[in-house]
Chains A and B, each alone.
Chain A
Amino acid sequence: EAGVAQSPRYKIIEKRQSVAFWCNPISGHATLYWYQQILGQGPKLLIQFQNNGVVDDSQLPKDRFSAERLKGVDSTLKIQPAKLEDSAVYLCASSFGTGAYGYTFGSGTRLTVV
């Protein structure tokens, strides 16, 4: 089966600019997750969708980050305006159900804010 697709692979922007990341999960996976992974740390959950509804966005900095999952398939994560501390890898993952059997991760988008 095809994996989780993410784009772009790399992005460099200046602080205060905006940026968007795209994710296409594995076909049939109802649950989609966005994680932020700062260099040297474990992934931190930003937002979790079940179909097109938000299950958990408690750690999403809502003043600058937004995410949507229209039609319960693809998802977009946006940062506006970006700060230097947003430099990280943004990982998308999907799972068939609750994740009891694991998630499948995409390759991630490496964001550098200068």
Chain B
Amino acid sequence: GDSVTQMEGPVTLSEEAFLTINCTYTATGYPSLFWYVQYPGEGLQLLLKATKADDKGSNKGFEATYRKETTSFHLEKGSVQVSDSAVYFCALSNFNKFYFGSGTKLNVKP
């Protein structure tokens, strides 16, 4: 069945460092891909999405490119801030079903 695998955390970075959180997926057909962010004590917020191959989703300095050839949707940010500390979930939507990865906790230190 469809699934999402993302790198385990926690990931600890210093402010202004480059961020990559890896995400790969398994799916039939043509899924849509998402990154959600969950700040402490809050619900999940959609960070960015891509609905077809080679699409790049971007928001708040974060980017991810839908790579069908490598079945990946890695999240990147050029310069992280302390306020980016949160848990990041990769997810896919396919045939009216949604699948989440297990989440990657990001800690950004000043």
Which residue of the partner chain A has the closest CB to B34? A102
A113 to B47, CA, bound (A): 32
| B43 close to A108 (CB less than 8 A) | yes
B44 and A105: CB pair below 8 A? Answer: yes
Interface size class of A (residues with CB under 8 A): 20 to 34
Does B74 interact with chain A (Cβ within 8 Å)? Answer: no
> Binding site of B, secondary structure by majority: helix, strand, loop or mixed?
strand
Q: Is the CB of A107 within 8 A of B42?
A: yes
Asked if residues A41 and B102 are in contact (CB atoms below 8 Å), the reply is yes
Q: Hey, what's the 0/1 contact readout for B79-106 against A, CB within 8 Å counting as 1?
A: 0000000000100010111101111000
Q: Which B residues contact A (CB, under 8 angstroms)?
A: 32, 34, 36, 42-46, 49, 51, 89, 93, 95-98, 100-103
Q: A56-B97, A100-B93, A103-B46 are in contact. List 4 more A-B contacts (CB 8 A).
A: A40-B103, A93-B44, A100-B32, A102-B32
